[in-house]
Amino acid sequence: MPNTNGEKWIKFLRAYGPVPEGNSQEAEHIEGLSKKLGIPRLAFPHPLDKRFSSMFKTAEAKKVAVVTGTAGDGKTTICFELTKVLSGNAPDPASTSVCIETFMTLPEYGGEEMTIIYDVTGWRQKNEDDTLIDEHVQILENAAKYAAGTGGTPFLMAVNDGQLHELAKSLPKNCSSQLRKFFDELLLMHAAAQGKSDELPNLELVNLSSVPSDHLMEIALDGILSREEWSCLDQENNTPLFGQYSSVVANYHLLKSEAVRERLLNLAKLADACGYHLPMRSIILLLVNALLGHPGFSGKLVKPGVEAERNFAEDSRYKAALHKNIFGLNLTKEERKKRVLYEFLANLRVGEETTNDIDELIIFGDKHPDFKEVYSDLVAADPHMQRDPDLVRKLADYLKGEISSDFEVQEFRTLLCEERKRLFLHASQVQFETFNLWVTCVFHHAGHFIKRILLPIATEKNVDVENIIELVAGLNRVWTGLLIRDDEHQIYIATGLDISTAPISDLLIQKIDAYLGQEAVGITRRKIDDRPEFVIQYNGKRFAFELTMQLYEFLMRVAKGAMPTSFSSEIYSNLQAVKQKALRTLDLKPNANFMLLLDLDDTGRVRGVPVSLK
């Protein structure tokens, strides 16, 4: 049992990490530990708190509310908190164990019976034919009546996105038409990202996954790092756990730095742009592992007691450096594979992309007179001792030509990769932009995407024309197979002699002026999820496709001359399919009398050769 307040705090935080005694973030485990140690649970103001409170704030505001989202978004926690508000009492443990509770609301909230399903997974029971049991159907019938305003009682349900569809499929054939309409409406609302029903007056749907991951990252950073329990860093700095060699102290101060915070928020933005929503549970796990990760401890997380005394007896902070923990390098590959969060971070390949400028600075910076000042500011600056000392020795061996075996080469490459990760996280914003450290990951243009695309659409501003022109050039390259240099203000939609997905599509179907009148190209924010989409308008018709980070990177590289299949054959094939959809949606068809054969001169200028079809 930990003795000091600091030891208790570290033991408590471990419960939110990736591998603490096999009970990572389980509500029952954390609740029991919270009471045992006398430490309040981690709690954060949710961006949608005002919306939830407005649903039930008066007796007249009677609602049937369904809360959806991915696992870890906090659905059950929100329902627990609403139970306290609406009933004046904490959730009943006997009821929460079966994931459903019925209680009387306080007079100011209507003073009537209300049912909350905390988690559909634990509540739902099925018959042999895979339909819901009668008792559970009746509960849902009651909710459907109240949603339609024909009876029943208020109702709140937490359900994962996929389970919502499964629940609808589990309805028995003899259920009421009103209940089927209730679920039909729910599924339509979910697909359209619609919060309030047009058909059922009392029904609302809240999708927690709609909250941007960077907003959640900001809330979690502030919530964890501002806890008063961190006073132990000063009060117990004479102990190994919080002494001069403690990786916890180093990682805490780094997480509070402006540079690391900016990097984490941008990584969260990229997660959404790549199709990886980061739920709050995953973000908390990431931050706790960043703070406590250490390969020398059991469970790979710092813990009080003998292990702390042994591991922090000498300076080994580099073993548990923040840049290693953020990417889960303290964990085994098997542990990382279990979590989508680390899958996303691995796919970014941060530090794994070689770049001449950065590698020259790391290897030769302290020896070349032109590099020494920059080297001192960017590379050598390491107040928290995060740099692996083995790198210095290996660099000396490399310069002397003493690295020859495959094992030594791989070891040297790994150390270089980790050093690039360190610079990626630690560099100030000015240094990051000066050296464009995004080139150390797979998305070289991620900084441009965030600044030029994501930020403007988030603030409802127009994306600058020059940024759109670059994407038009990339599209023309993919859709024609030609690197058109002279005309980036028009989109060429062409086909081959056989099929429209031919690598070289040089028979022009339509040339769309990108910035004139009704014929336009632009980037807007999708209503369904606020992500960017690329829009082509022609002759009163509109075609759009989602502009993901992967697609943006592909088009930017292709526009600058890279072969379309060199970055991603999959994206290249997908864009050919997108062209076919554009042809159908914009109703573009070949001219029956003639076609224009596209050709380029030596400078990349388009030459059109008319081809008569008569």
Residue 365: pLDDT over 90:
no
Dist. CA 111–CA 160, nearest whole Å: 29
Residue 517: pLDDT over 60:
no
pLDDT in tens, 294-334: 999 999 999 999 999 999 999 999 999 999 999 999 999 98
* Band of residue 503 on the pLDDT scale cut at 50, 70, 90: low
Q: Which pLDDT does position 513 carry in this prediction?
A: 75
Dist. CA 30–CA 21, nearest whole Å: 12
In angstroms, the Cα distances linking 56 to 193, 501, 536 are 21, 54, 43
Single pTM value for the model: 0.91
Dist. CA 568–CA 550, nearest whole Å: 9
* Furthest-apart CA atoms within the chain: distance in Å: 92
Average pLDDT over residues 216-239: 96
Q: Which pLDDT does position 52 carry in this prediction?
A: 85
Residue 21: pLDDT over 60:
no
Dist. CA 65–CA 55, nearest whole Å: 8
- With contact defined as beta carbons under 8 Å apart, do 590 and 604 qualify? no
* Band of residue 20 on the pLDDT scale cut at 50, 70, 90: very low
DSSP letter for each residue of 357-394: HHHHHHHHTTT-TTTHHHIIIIII--TT--S-HHHHHH
Dist. CA 475–CA 491, nearest whole Å: 8
- 478 in a domain, yes or no? yes
DSSP letter for each residue of 106-137: PGGGTSSEEEEES-HHHH--B-TTSPBPHHHH
- Domain match, 419 and 537 both: no
Dist. CA 280–CA 467, nearest whole Å: 33
Angle at 296 between CA 318 and CA 239, to 5 degrees: 80
Q: Which stretches of 134-221 are assigned E, i.e. beta strand? A: 155-158, 203-207
Q: Which pLDDT does position 543 carry in this prediction?
A: 94
Closest by CA position to 580, among listed 521, 509, 531, 524: 509
Which residues lie across from 312 on neighbouring strands? none
Q: Which pLDDT does position 49 carry in this prediction?
A: 85
Q: Which amino acid, residue 568?
A: S
Dist. CA 572–CA 584, nearest whole Å: 19
Residue 258 contacts by C-beta under 8 Å, 6 or more apart in sequence? 428, 429
Dist. CA 586–CA 564, nearest whole Å: 24
- 451 in a domain, yes or no? no
* Band of residue 11 on the pLDDT scale cut at 50, 70, 90: very high
Dist. CA 589–CA 352, nearest whole Å: 45
Structure tokens at 279: 């739920």
Q: How far is CA 340 from the centre of its chain?
A: 10
* Domain span including residue 573: 459-612
Dist. CA 399–CA 167, nearest whole Å: 64
Residue 583 phi/psi, 5-degree rounding, is: -60, -45
Dist. CA 249–CA 258, nearest whole Å: 17
In angstroms, the Cα distances linking 247 to 118, 120, 317, 321 are 38, 41, 5, 7
Q: Which amino acid, residue 325?
A: N
- 35 in a domain, yes or no? no
Average pLDDT over residues 215-226: 97
Q: Dihedral (C-alpha) 537, 540, 546, 548: value to the nearest 10 degrees?
A: 10
Residue 516: pLDDT over 60:
no
- With contact defined as beta carbons under 8 Å apart, do 204 and 63 qualify? yes
Number of domains in the chain: 4
Residue 74: pLDDT over 70:
yes
Whole-number average pLDDT of the chain: 89
- Domain match, 54 and 168 both: yes
Dist. CA 417–CA 415, nearest whole Å: 5
- Domain match, 185 and 111 both: yes
DSSP H or E segment with residue 268: helix 258-273
- 421 in a domain, yes or no? yes
- Domain match, 588 and 472 both: yes
- Domain match, 492 and 434 both: no
Which residues lie across from 492 on neighbouring strands? 511
Average pLDDT over residues 63-88: 90
Which of 6-10, 392-396, 456-460, 484-488 is most confident? 6-10
Average pLDDT over residues 100-128: 91
- 345 in a domain, yes or no? no
- Domain match, 205 and 159 both: yes
End-to-end distance of the chain based on CA atoms, in angstroms?
91
pLDDT in tens, 431-451: 999 999 999 999 999 999 999
- Domain match, 77 and 182 both: yes
Q: Is 496 left (phi over 0), alpha (psi -120 to 50) or beta?
A: beta
Better-predicted residue by pLDDT, 316 or 19:
316
For the chain, the C-alpha Rg in angstroms (whole number) is: 29
Dist. CA 235–CA 544, nearest whole Å: 58
Among candidate residues 416, 442, 468, the one where a domain is terminated: 442
Q: Which pLDDT does position 109 carry in this prediction?
A: 87
Among candidate residues 310, 337, 364, the one where a domain is terminated: 337
- Domain match, 119 and 198 both: yes
Dist. CA 451–CA 277, nearest whole Å: 20
- Domain match, 276 and 406 both: no
Q: Note the helical H segments in 293-339.
A: 306-311, 322-326, 333-337
Kind of pairing between the strands at 100-104 and 490-495: unpaired
Q: Which pLDDT does position 613 carry in this prediction?
A: 62
- With contact defined as beta carbons under 8 Å apart, do 209 and 161 qualify? yes
Number of H helices, E strands in the chain: 29, 13
Among candidate residues 284, 306, 337, the one where a domain is terminated: 337
Percent of the chain, pLDDT > 70?
A: 92
Please state, as a whole number, how many other Cβ atoms lie within 10 Å of the Cβ of residue 56.
22
Kind of pairing between the strands at 203-207 and 64-68: parallel
In angstroms, the Cα distances linking 249 to 8, 225, 237, 245, 246 are 16, 12, 9, 8, 6
Which residue do the tokens 């909350």 mark? 116
Average pLDDT over residues 332-351: 93
- Domain match, 231 and 183 both: no
Dist. CA 201–CA 180, nearest whole Å: 16
- With contact defined as beta carbons under 8 Å apart, do 23 and 29 qualify? yes
- 398 in a domain, yes or no? yes
- Domain match, 193 and 293 both: no
Average pLDDT over residues 348-354: 93
* Band of residue 465 on the pLDDT scale cut at 50, 70, 90: confident
- 4 in a domain, yes or no? no
- 537 in a domain, yes or no? yes
Average pLDDT over residues 44-70: 84
Closest by CA position to 179, among listed 190, 191, 171: 171
Average pLDDT over residues 559-579: 89
- Domain match, 551 and 490 both: yes
Structure tokens at 419: 């050093």
Residue 109 contacts by C-beta under 8 Å, 6 or more apart in sequence? 56, 57, 58, 59, 86
